[in-house]
Amino acid sequence: MKFHWFAEVTYPNVPKDFVESGELNWVKPTPSLFDPRESGEMYRMFIRLMQGADKVGFDGLAVNEHHATGFAMTPSPNLLAASLASTTENAAILVIGNSLALYNPPVRIAEEMAYLDCVSDGRLIAGFVFGTPMDSAFAYGNPPIEVRDRFHEARNLILRAWEEQEPFAFNGKYTKLRYVDILPRPVQKRPPVWVPGSGSVETWDLVIDENYCYGHLSFSGLYSAKPTVDAYWEYCDKRGGDMNPNRMAFTQIVCCAETDAEAEAKYYDAVRYFYRTNTVDPNFAMPPGYSTAKSMRSQNTLMKVGESKLTPEDKARAASGEMSFWEYDEKGFIIAGSPERVSQRLRELAKDLRIGQLIACCHVGDLAEEVAAENTRLMGERVIPTLRDLWSEYPDHWTPETSQKRVATISPGIARAPEFAK
């Protein structure tokens, strides 16, 4: 099993009455609430934390893209990735990912990702994302109905640009280029491709047809995700797709401390801050045309199936910060406690959802750097080694060969790097 360090780069100092004031933290937050110097220190902190994760056996360092939000201040994942590619040695650089529909022309992504692969010596994972409606439709003004077509045209252009040995012309609907000839080229013949999704059947078809790694990225935990993830695996099996657990990724907030009591004392305020400041106007969350009718029907069915374990009331209480610390844990929003308890809970999660790639969120909200660093260390030294046996019978084609070999030399529990199929 693989473990990737991740956190939403959440601004830590919004006013205490942020939610009560009606302030929104996506699409149109008030700019004066976010101090540039504090933002700079926040970015430096996240770089330091990920550099630490590289040293204690994490398999990947994950960065993402969002716009016009203090919840995740990462306007270009490639910038953070560039800081890591040249200052880390072992872990994969997991860019999950670039919102392809937002780039004109998309060859810029092909060039920048190739640069990252060169600087990291072949450790890039290329994450391609559709982007949230808040990012793609509202912050960047794309017609919602065009996002999926723009994504696919950009994806095809990027992959072709990496592989063609001669300059070529590209005459797409949204991008027209007389000459495509990118430099540099990636070290890997084709970096592994990951595509996250939230239940769109069309995305399921894409990752099955292309054998990409599928990421179910949410912060609602096991019970919220299980209906969708189970439905995905059932759909994959019916279509004859690869059932290898290593092609499924999942995000999970982890709050690890020496004891359960310490975990509550150190993390509870930050968990509440995280959920309370992730405020989105419902009008921005699902504009007409962003999802197809087929996917919307599928989502409605899955929501009904999942209500028995996690109710809408549970989600509302979590978002308002009204849950106790151990309610957040019981409902699956977080996995918390001692290394032994966290290991047991993560093993249950991975087996229940058939997950081979865990994107562990080791920082959350306004958590202090020293606590996040301890969380990272405990994960690397006392949790990850106990879970390396999971899915070890399956090859991993979705993590770069170079990072697999390097992490195997420093992470207990890995006898050798798994064979990487070309």
Where do the domains of the chain lie, and which CATH numbers do they carry? 2-408 (3.20.20.30)
Instruction: Give residues with Cβ within 8 angstroms of 279, minimum separation 6.
Output: 18, 19, 23, 24, 25, 26
pTM (predicted TM-score)? 0.94
The answer to whether the CB of 76 falls within 8 A of the CB of 43 is: no
pLDDT for the residue 286: 85
d(CA 301, CA 71) in angstroms, rounded, equals 29
pLDDT band at 46 (very low <50, low <70, confident <90, very high): very high
pLDDT above 80: residue 419? no
pLDDT above 90: residue 100? yes
pLDDT for the residue 421: 35
Q: Which residues of 2-12 are buried (b: 16+ CB within 10 A; e: fewer)?
A: bbbbbbbbbbb
d(CA 384, CA 138) in angstroms, rounded, equals 39
Give the pair of three-digit tokens for residue 51.
Answer: 């550099």
d(CA 63, CA 97) in angstroms, rounded, equals 7
Q: Is 71 left (phi over 0), alpha (psi -120 to 50) or beta?
A: alpha
pLDDT above 70: residue 301? no
Helix axes 293-306, 201-210, angle to 10 degrees: 100
Q: How many Cβ atoms are within 10 Å of 179's Cβ, its own excluded?
A: 9
Give the pair of three-digit tokens for residue 247.
Answer: 């092609």
Task: Report pLDDT digits (tens) over 59-89.
Answer: 999 999 999 999 999 999 999 999 999 999 9
d(CA 370, CA 381) in angstroms, rounded, equals 16
pLDDT for the residue 308: 55
Task: Report pLDDT digits (tens) over 206-263.
Answer: 999 999 999 998 888 889 899 999 999 999 999 999 999 999 999 999 999 999 999 9
Number of alpha helices (DSSP H) and beta strands (DSSP E) in the chain? 16, 11
Task: Report pLDDT digits (tens) over 184-208.
Answer: 999 999 999 999 988 889 999 999 9
d(CA 221, CA 223) in angstroms, rounded, equals 6
Give the pair of three-digit tokens for residue 110.
Answer: 């092909």
